Homo-oligomer: A and B are copies of this chain.
């Protein structure tokens, strides 16, 4: 079922035009394009064929054609070309990352904003998944009589901290000792298991500090399980003519609020570098006329999170991919700095 050269050319022209304008494209419009030298009648015949093959839809008899999900799939796989971002754009994106970064959350935030600004779509990004990360160090810092800051560092260079409460009789020196003991037990243990191990092995040795151990256990446990998904540029929904209908727009925003589904979709796509889900290819009905394009970011050579955009199937896939690539590069660069300083130290 291979399409003729001409059919492909016409199909590409239709998709390009539709991505651009958002209005169904007719044969006359096409015949006027300089690189399509055929008459409108010829094009009409081809279009009829393409519709029969399932690549085009027709909203109603006297309207032009719109590309189907199948057409976009073909387009993404074979027709489009992903251009590199221009220098201006690269600069524009880099700018978002140029703030002082001390914390991974800030980096993700910047990435989300850069993405949505550069693509005019709604961007999404997941917090690093730490289950597979291993602990390098656990440190308790006495803050006040009853409170301490629990700091832990993973092999991916990611630092997390949480306040916990502690009995006032524990002094700074003892806390240092405690930190070292715990670090000893859980070094190089994955975060997923660390909480458990802390509870099991430390409980015996440090039975008198049950409450503190419990607090630490809770803190690490909660942080590991937290599934965070950030959005950027949700106002961009107003750019989609397909969401002129307010109730539809509202429904969609409510969908975003319940992040579970999207989180799953993002998490599922972590094995490959890029993932493009077009329209009904999304397993969830609610997104059957949206496309979701995602990529992964890594720290220390391992994928630990994903980011991407969600928008109408009529999406400039070429552009989105090129932006995604560039943002991914920038992201990896910056996150590797979190590690780099350690590597150097080794």
Contact = CB atoms under 8 A, between A and B. Distances in A.
Interface in A224-248: 234-235, 238, 244, 246
Contacts of A163: 102-103, 159
Contacts of A249: 238
A219 B102 contact: yes
Contact of A254 (B141, B145, B235): B235
B246 A165 contact: no
A103 B257 CA distance: 23
Contact of A244 (B100, B219, B246): B246
Given A246-B244, A249-B238, A250-B235, A102 B164 contact: yes
B141 A342 contact: no
Contacts of A103: 162-163
Nearest to A250: B238
Contact of A151 (B141, B165, B234, B341): B141
B146 A161 contact: no
Nearest to A342: B144
A165 B235 CA distance: 37
A63 interface: no
Contacts of A345: 144-146, 168
A157 B143 CA distance: 10
Contact of A235 (B153, B244, B253): B253
A149 interface: yes
Contacts of A244: 246
A84 interface: no
Interface in A151-176: 151, 153, 157, 159, 161-165, 168
A234 to B, nearest CB: 7
Contact of A100 (B147, B168, B222): B222
Contacts of A314: none
Contact of A257 (B141, B157, B164, B235): B235
B341 A146 contact: yes
Contacts of A246: 238, 244, 246
A180 B249 CA distance: 55
Most-contacted residue by chain B among A136, A146, A161, A249 (CB, 10 A): A161
A141 B140 CA distance: 9
Given A146-B345, A147-B341, 17 more contacts: A102-B163, A102-B164, A102-B219, A136-B144, A137-B143, A143-B151, A143-B153, A144-B157, A145-B341, A146-B342, A147-B342, A161-B161, A165-B341, A234-B234, A235-B250, A235-B253, A246-B246
28 contacts: A100-B218, A100-B222, A102-B162, A102-B164, A102-B219, A103-B162, A103-B163, A136-B144, A137-B143, A139-B143, A141-B151, A143-B153, A144-B157, A144-B342, A145-B341, A145-B342, A145-B345, A146-B342, A147-B341, A147-B342, A159-B163, A161-B161, A165-B341, A168-B345, A234-B234, A235-B254, A235-B257, A238-B253
